[in-house]
Structure formats: structure tokens, C-alpha cells
Structure 1
Amino acid sequence: MNRRRFFAFVGLTVASLLLAIGLPLRSVSTSNLVAQSNGSLLVSTAASLKEVMEEIKTNYQQSKPGVTINYNFGASGSLLQQIQQGAPADIFISAGKKQVDTLEQSGKLVAGTRSILAKNRLVLIVPKSAVGVTSFFNLTGNSIRKIAIGEPRSVPAGQYAEQVLKKLGIFEKVKTKFVYANNVRQVLAAVESGNADAGLVYRTDAKISNKVKTVVAADEKYHSPIVYPMGVLKQSKNVAAATDFVKYLSSEQAKITLKKYGFILP
């Protein structure tokens, strides 16, 4: 049997099988099969994960060159709102539990894909050249005129900051000094530039900057647990690839990268 007749025979055999089980011929195509393992993913993720997620993407795509990872970085509350309003996303990673709870309770997460990526600590930072600030209580002094925090309605770091300041009993004394930012990286930038005399960010944010210094870490009993929950969204057009990437984020290789950037492993 020559090559042409052989391939014709194979084609007819496959067609006969498909018809025998009642499937239309157009239901199976090479592009559909490839899409199961390849494709493009959009990950909506907390701004505080920017550097570590970029490195994780590089590592992942070395073993999965057919998958393209794109990120949408922002405040967790804002990202949640975008998803609720129909913005495209395959995976959501929040800097707070509440946002992912909302999606799960409304049935928008693929069952069994939710897990904790990492944990973090909240710290008080000041410009590198600042002197005289040794504790949260110094924030009430006249030398501190502006305190940058995330907008509590959309930024988990801002919510944690308010919780800490209230527990310490100084919230009412310092709230007039607040400069609100749209995400935690804007808080960092405000302190770096001197537009704020102090700020509350995650330990990992302070770690990437040589323009600020950490004064003190907040006692964890003064705020809700700082965790990064994640999950695959039902609206994803490539659930298989999204689920595989989420599994990779819990792998030993990903954990090494997270630890390198100062994140606490779950």
C-alpha cells in the first residue's frame, strides 16, 4: 500500500469511528488538542507579588514553552471587582482571604483548585536617611507628617495597617496623616520618594528597595493572617493549563523562588 492510500485509509477509519459513536467530524481538530496543553493564560495577581511571579513565569515557561503567562498586577480588591464585572482572567491570586472567599462563595472558582501560595508580614518603613523612628508609636510625633497606607477598601495591606494601628491604640491620633495609595507598591514608592515620612508595606516590598529601611514588623496577633490564596476561575477558556500552573505554584521549585524573595511558605 503506497503512502497516499495509507493516509486515505487512516482518514476513512477515523471518520467511520467518529460517525459510529455519533460525534460530528468537526468536533475533533488538531488545534483543540493542542489547546489542552498550550495557550495563553492571564493571571490577575496582587501587586506585591510582581518580582517573584515574573521569575516564576520564566522558570515555568522553560518546561512549558507552549504556555504564555501574562499578568495583571493590582490591588486585590480592584482585581476582584474587575473579575466580577466580567474582565478576562484565568487565575486569581489575592493578598487577602476575603477576596477569594467572595469568588468561591459566588461559585466562580473551579472546585479543588484553591490553595495558599504564601504568607507575609506587615512592616513599618521609613526613608533610608530617616532617624528617630524606632516603633509604631513614633508615628504620633510631630516629625511624622504623612503616613502612606493602602486604600483599605481595596488594598489588603491597608486593611492590615488599620487593624494594627487600632490594636496599638494610635489610629485616631494618626489617621489625619494618612496618604492613601491604590496598591502596596504605591505605598513603597511614596516612602522611597520622600512624599511620605513613613508607610506600612509587606516585608517582601521593603526587601526589594534600597531606598527605605524597615523599622519594625507588626505583631501578627494585631491583624488578620496575611495569606495569598489562589484559584482557577470557571470563566477560564483553558482550565487545564490554568490548573497546571496553579499546581506548579505549589511545587518545590516555586517554593524556592518564593523563599528567595522573602515570602513565608504555607
Structure 2
Amino acid sequence: MSRITLFFILLFSSLSASASVTVYAASSLTNVMNDIVDAYQNKTGERVRVSYAGSSSLARQIENGAPADIYLSANTKWMDYLIEKDEIEADTKVDLLRNSLVLIASKTTPTENTWQWFLGQKGLRLSMADPRHVPAGIYGKQSLEKQYRWSEVKDNIASGNNVRSALLFVERDEAPLGIVYKTDALLSKNVTIVEEFPADSHDPIVYPMAIVKKKNSDEVAAFYRYLLSESAKDTFISYGFTTI
């Protein structure tokens, strides 16, 4: 176990001690989950704490004993990984949401013929989540390969450890273009959506949810059910997600 992993386990162990439920959720769910948690806490008085990071990082933390009760991933790969490791109550796995992928531009980037403009420049980088491990980056690479663009940019990637990092690079104009989820782009006033990638150019962007092994308490089950409720679905939809 790395020192960094151990640090996060100890940190969230202390933070979650005061919470009834601890959720590990993909970074792209930050805003919508904050709203859902606030509504649930106001309704029930139960304390819910959410830790946000890349799905791969969260899965590794859970594998190493981090105190998560519910895992919400941005792709099925890392959920299946934890199921294979027997870290998940497999019968609680449910596909909760869908998302889409977009190309975004900073405020100083031309919004016409943007891709051609980008390729004509020197030293510019395309911001995206790490295409080796992070779901948003994996989907982005798949789409670029399908559109025969990957070979043109693979050596000029500004790689973030999660999709919010990729968004931030473009918001700060540290990268002229980026690939993020549509829901993240819609939250930002500092980027422009240039195009939405075809849904058939990458694997379906599915967010599965499940309860972590031996964590199926009454409090955990209650919040799990709330995430499947019509109230939660309405909130997810208001942020641009599609519910399943």
C-alpha cells in the first residue's frame, strides 16, 4: 500500500466517523451529488459524506480498505474490477446514469474551425483526463481514435487525474481545448462547447452504483434507495444527466 493511499484511508476514516453514510463518487458528480446530499440530510437528518476523485483512484482506495459504503463510478470497468475483487455487494449494482462527451474551448480559442486551428498551432495541448486510467480520458481516447484524430494529438495531451482537472486547465486558459463530460461543461461559464462527440464513437458512458461489501446497513440502504428515487432522478436530470 502506498503512503498516499494510506493517507487518504486514514483521512477519510476520521472524516466519516461522524457520518451515517460515506459515498465514494466520480468527480463529475460533484455538484449534483452535493445537491442531492443536502436535500437528503434536510429531509432525514442523517449525515452523508461524499469523497470525490477519479473512479480508478476511488476503486483502488476501496480495494485497500478505505471506509466507503457506496461506490458511484463513471464507468463499468472499475465497478467490475471491485466486483472481481469481492469488494462490492454484487446484487446491489445498478446502472444509474448516462452522460455524453464534448470538446470544449477556452474564452480565447476560436470557435469556428476550432480543430483545424488547433492542429495548425505549435506547442498547444489538449486537456483531458488521463486516458490510461480515468473514464473520461478513456472515452475521449476511444472517440479520437474512432474519428482518426488521436494520432494528431497523442503527443500533446495535458493529462489530468480526473475530469474536473481537465476542465480547470481550459477554464484557466492553460489549454485551448479540452475533452470533458457534457454535464461538467454545462456548469462552467468560462468554456464553450465546440462539439459533442458521437455516442457511437466511444463506449456508452454509464455510471453504475453499488454498496461496498459488508456495508449494507439500514442507513446505507436508505440513502442507496434515495439515489434511485424520483426526487434524486429529477436532480440528476437538471444537471444534464440521463437516468436509466
> Equivalent residue for 1:64?
44
Give secondary structure in 2 for the equivalent of 1:131.
Answer: coil
State the AA in 2 paired with 1:56. I
| Residue matched to 1:43 | 23
Which of the residues 190, 215, 219 maps onto 1:211? 190
Q: Is the 8 A contact 1:139 1:174 kept in 2?
A: no
Q: CA deviation at 1:105?
A: 2.3
Percentage of identical aligned residues: 37
Contact in 2 for aligned 1:191/1:199 (Cα 8 Å): yes
Does the Cα contact within 8 Å between 2:140 and 2:179 map onto a contact in 1? yes
Moved over 6 A (4+): none
Aligned-pair Cα RMSD in Å: 1.8
Matched residue, 1:88: 67
- Displacement of 1:242: 1.4
Separation (CA, whole Å) in 2 of partners of 1:251 and 1:134? 43
Please state whether the residue corresponding to 1:125 is helix, strand or coil. strand
Distance 1:243 1:158 in 2: 31
Deviation string for 1:38-61 (max 9, x for gaps)? 962110100000000000001111
Match of 2:106 in 1: 127
Which segments of 5 or more consecutive residues in structure 2 lack a partner in the other structure? 1-17
CA radius of gyration, larger in: 1
TM-score (norm 2): 0.88
The aligned residue for residue 14 of structure 1 is none
Query: 2:233, 2:243 within 8 Å by CA — same for their partners in 1?
Result: yes
Residue number in structure 1 paired with 2:229: 251
> TM-score, normalized by length of structure 1?
0.81
**Following the alignment from structure 1 to structure 2, what is the Cα–Cα distance between the partners of residues 134 and 260?**
31
Distance 1:182 1:111 in 2: 27
Residue 33 of structure 1: aligned partner: none
Q: How does 1:187-266 map to 2 (within 5 A)?
A: 187-236=166-215, 239-266=217-244
- Measure the CA separation in 1 of the matches of 2:134 and 2:185: 17
3-state SS of the aligned residue for 1:176? coil
